[in-house]
Amino acid sequence: MPHISPSATASPLEEVRRKVKLTEHTVENVNSTDFPGTYEEYDDAWSQEKFEEKFQIDIVSLSTTEMEFDMVGVDAAIANSIRRILLAEVPTMAIETAAIWNNTSIIQDEVLAHRLGLIPIKADPRLFEYKPKDAEAGSSDDTLQFSLKIRCSRNNVTTDATDPRVLFKNHKVYSRDLEWVPLPGQDHLKNKGIGPVDKDILIATMRPGHELDVDLYCVKGIGKDHAKFSPVATASYRLLPEIRLLREFHGEECERLQKCFSPGVIEVRETPEGKKMARVVNARMDTCSRNVFRHDDLKDGVVLQRVRDHFIFSVESTGILPPDTLVSEAMKILMGKCQKFLQELDDKANSFTSSKDKHRKGKKS
């Protein structure tokens, strides 16, 4: 028997509701239809109990900077909201102001300030407040100060060396040269490891006599104000691929079928009779390239789909906060937005009811 996934027995209507189908030239069922009143056969009315039963998050892999997880049982609008919040609304600390007292390098002040501003700063933004817009100077509650003081000079070299690393001292300025200057009242932050995320970010190249003297001030902000505040290098998602084989593939067909998909998707194994047979082992690894439709003798035996409510998320942190913390913070922000919206609806409803009552009283009088 061909290797068929359990969902292969689903009704055609269930396929339309829950699957996006990839054909040779088009993509079908791209619009969500699982909402109340669409199908008489299904009760798609929303309830918290049904949502809690379906919704789940499974962490597939997690490191200090990268995370892959599955989010199952939500609409694309919810998944995309979390992605957009990760990119633009989870706050971080970043360099906002550079007081350049001396810059004799070849880099213009504006370019130097821009480079410094893009250095990710490892500081938990939850420990700080947003700086008031009308505040001229920062405080220990909303600002971090760094200092960059470095001068390039010649080494005492008597050989004929031409390597700048031998000839010069401090000829390259790195992010490790930034020194955190605690403000009064920030002693409790000294064990938090505050500083640049990466110590080896190149800031400038200098020659003897060049000097930099800069004071830097970090504040709390979000990515939609400036990309330097974005806590992720990338945040993306894709739908879970589903591949079904409608018939058996043997011999030379197996090899060609295997090459149509990403490595690890199709397995070719020998049956007890010594014949080669293909089976789907990990559809998750497929990129849905649809190369199988190039082969007329193979394409009618394969169905390519994607599960509409199963999202595979990939989050790559800049290192300011762990990726799992970023996802958690993004969900808290989304919950806060929902609560605010519900409160505004209640206020509007109460206001409407109040004005209606006044109108009735006015008529009676």
Query: Which one, of 288, 248, 283, lies nearest residue 269 by Cα?
Result: 248
Q: What are the structural domains, with CATH classification, of the chain?
A: 6-88+233-251+282-316 (3.30.1360.10), 92-230 (2.170.120.12)
Pairing, β 92-103 against β 211-221: antiparallel
Please list the pLDDT of the chain residue by residue as tens digits (365 residues).
Answer: 334 444 445 677 878 888 999 999 999 988 888 788 888 878 888 888 888 888 999 999 999 999 999 999 999 999 999 999 999 999 999 999 999 999 999 999 999 999 999 999 999 999 999 999 888 888 999 999 999 999 999 988 777 888 888 889 999 999 999 999 999 999 999 999 999 999 999 999 999 999 999 999 999 999 999 999 999 999 999 999 999 999 999 889 999 999 999 999 999 998 888 889 999 999 999 998 899 999 999 999 999 999 999 999 999 999 999 999 999 999 999 999 999 999 999 988 888 887 777 767 666 65
The pair of three-digit structure tokens given for residue 363, joined into one six-digit string: 């008529």
Query: Which one, of 180, 189, 93, lies nearest residue 145 by Cα?
Result: 180
Query: Which one, of 252, 144, 154, lies nearest residue 210 by Cα?
Result: 154
Give the list of residues 6+ apart from residue 85 with CB closer than 8 angstroms, or none: 330, 333, 334
Residue 215's DSSP bridge partners are 99, 147
What angle (nearest 5°) sits at the alpha carbon of residue 137, between those of residues 133 and 142?
Answer: 70
Query: How much is the pTM?
Result: 0.85
Query: Which one, of 219, 147, 201, lies nearest residue 318 by Cα?
Result: 201
The pair of three-digit structure tokens given for residue 309, joined into one six-digit string: 């409510």
User: 328 in helix, strand or coil?
Assistant: helix
Q: Which residue has the tokens 């390259």?
A: 172
Q: Are 153 and 170 in contact (CB under 8 A)?
A: yes
